[in-house]
């Protein structure tokens, strides 16, 4: 097993001028974001509504009870965030706060002026290259606008719970929540890719997920064994295990660590990562011309490919219905596109 306890020496990294978040977004995440961005004025409405959560109060809370990163406090974190924004071409470097909390975590908060929060537990757990991957993950959330849209989704969820007393309300609300959480999980996969683009160290991105699952003792872990663990989880045991996996996942906002590990491994080896490094990526100047129809079709195809790839026996049982749904969705998107062209 290769030694994973040491950091990659500091080195020049490829910068991505004008990169669009569409370059790294998971198809299911990207289709939703492109659709929302295509609605004229929707971002403005979202930002106004997110004010209901009082972004200023959040910032004041961390300003009062955490350490604001800068030239004189946690300088290495400050430099890392600045460099990450330079690599991913985020014009405004967000404020960063370090919060005393033994639980390893990081988050991007706010919409008008997004800022990052990193816990001391995460700083203690990760080396510099691994931390760079996490910082890139959070900057990816900002570039994609996840914080803005997820705030809106939280508003809808709160409104929904108040309406749950209506007849069939619980069933309808549960369906919405399931869909939203599935989007959130795909958004996490998108940001894992942004983290890899920021650190440009596949091993470091993998180590983050291994440490989040098993702690700091990397000498006791193996990347090959962890990937095999991901394969075993994917295959499950029988249909009952597949159903239990599905039910366990429903309330979660993040995919399981082994799933994220396998996904970043697949993306790093699949060619798309190398093309971006070579400068072949969509630019944000073209975001306004992105096709909702095309992105929704890509999302449907992505799900279909994942169903075909998985060894999960539960998915195997429902694959026929899933493929039919994906094909129907693709046909619908084609008809929509043709109607638009005819009009």
Q: Is residue 273 a contact partner of residue 16, using CB atoms and an 8 Å limit?
A: no
Catalytic residue among 25, 55, 95, 138: 138
Backbone angles phi, psi at 221, to 5 degrees: -120, 165
| Eight-class DSSP state of 72 | S
* Helix or strand run (H / E) with residue 109: strand 106-109
Nearest by Cα to 30 from 173, 157, 194 = 194
What pLDDT is stored for residue 174 in this prediction?
60
Please report which residue ranges of the chain form alpha helices under DSSP H: 27-37, 42-50, 55-65, 75-87, 120-125, 128-144, 146-162, 169-199, 202-214, 223-235, 239-249, 257-269, 272-277, 292-309, 313-342
Please enumerate in sequence order all residues whose Cβ is within 8 A of that of 133, keeping only pairs 6 or more positions apart, or say none.
195, 196, 198, 199, 201, 204, 205, 208
What pLDDT is stored for residue 283 in this prediction?
95
Query: CA 97 to CA 121: how far, in whole Å?
Result: 13
Q: Is residue 52 a contact partner of residue 155, using CB atoms and an 8 Å limit?
A: yes
Q: Is residue 280 a contact partner of residue 14, using CB atoms and an 8 Å limit?
A: no
- In the chain, where are the structural domains located? 21-290
How would you write 136-153 as a 3-class SS string? HHHHHHHHHCHHHHHHHH
Query: CA 247 to CA 203: how far, in whole Å?
Result: 31
Query: CA 198 to CA 80: how far, in whole Å?
Result: 10
Collapsed DSSP state (helix, strand, coil) of residue 96: strand
Query: CA 14 to CA 17: how far, in whole Å?
Result: 10
Q: Is residue 196 a contact partner of residue 136, using CB atoms and an 8 Å limit?
A: yes
Query: CA 22 to CA 1: how far, in whole Å?
Result: 35
89 phi-psi bin (left φ>0, alpha ψ -120 to 50, beta other): left
- Determine whether 263 is an active site residue: no
For 262, counting Cβ atoms within 10 Å of its Cβ (0-12 exposed, 13-18 middle, 19+ buried), the class is buried
In tens digits, the chain (343 residues) has pLDDT values of 434 433 344 568 999 999 999 999 887 777 666 665 555 555 555 555 555 556 778 889 999 999 999 999 999 999 999 999 999 999 999 999 999 999 999 999 887 788 999 999 999 999 999 999 999 999 999 998 886 666 555 665 666 666 555 555 555 556 656 666 777 788 899 999 999 999 999 999 999 999 999 999 999 999 999 999 999 988 876 767 777 777 777 777 788 999 999 999 999 999 999 999 999 999 999 887 766 566 566 556 655 555 455 655 555 555 554 445 445 444 444 444 444 444 4
| Eight-class DSSP state of 254 | S
What pLDDT is stored for residue 271 in this prediction?
93
Q: How far is CA 118 from CA 91, 130, 138, 291, 333, in A?
A: 21, 13, 10, 36, 41
Please enumerate in sequence order all residues whose Cβ is within 8 A of that of 202, keeping only pairs 6 or more positions apart, or say none.
196, 264, 265, 268
């Amino acid at each position: 097993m290769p030694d994973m306890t040491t950091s990659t020496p500091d080195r020049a990294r490829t910068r991505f001028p004008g990169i669009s978040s569409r370059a790294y977004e998971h198809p299911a995440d990207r289709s939703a974001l492109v659709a929302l961005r295509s609605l004229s004025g929707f971002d403005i409405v979202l930002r106004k509504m997110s004010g209901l959560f009082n972004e200023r109060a959040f910032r004041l809370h961390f300003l009062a009870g955490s350490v604001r990163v800068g030239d004189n406090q946690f300088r290495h974190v400050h430099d890392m965030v600045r460099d990450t924004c330079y690599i991913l071409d985020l014009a405004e470097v967000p404020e960063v706060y370090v919060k005393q909390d033994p639980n390893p975590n990081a988050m991007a908060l706010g919409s008008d002026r997004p800022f990052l929060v990193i816990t001391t537990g995460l700083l203690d757990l990760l080396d510099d290259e691994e931390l760079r991957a996490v910082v890139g993950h959070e900057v990816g959330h900002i570039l994609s606008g996840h914080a803005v849209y997820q705030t809106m989704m939280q508003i809808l969820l709160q409104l929904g719970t108040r309406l749950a007393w209506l007849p069939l309300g619980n069933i309808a609300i549960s369906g919405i929540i399931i869909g939203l959480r599935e989007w959130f999980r795909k958004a996490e996969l998108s940001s894992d890719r942004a983290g890899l683009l920021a650190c440009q160290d596949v091993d470091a991105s993998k180590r983050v997920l291994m440490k989040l699952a098993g702690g700091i003792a990397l000498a006791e872990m193996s990347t090959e064994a962890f990937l095999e663990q991901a394969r075993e989880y994917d295959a499950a045991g029988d249909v009952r295990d597949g159903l239990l996996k599905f039910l366990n996942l429903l309330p979660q906002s993040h995919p399981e660590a082994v799933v994220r590990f396998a996904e970043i491994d697949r993306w790093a080896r699949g060619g798309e990562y190398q093309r971006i490094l070579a400068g072949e990526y969509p630019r944000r100047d073209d975001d306004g011309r992105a096709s909702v129809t095309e992105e929704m079709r890509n999302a449907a195809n992505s799900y279909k490919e994942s169903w075909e790839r998985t060894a999960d026996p539960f998915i195997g049982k429902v694959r026929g219905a899933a493929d039919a749904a994906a094909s129907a969705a693709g046909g619908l998107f084609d008809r929509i596109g043709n109607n638009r062209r005819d009009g």
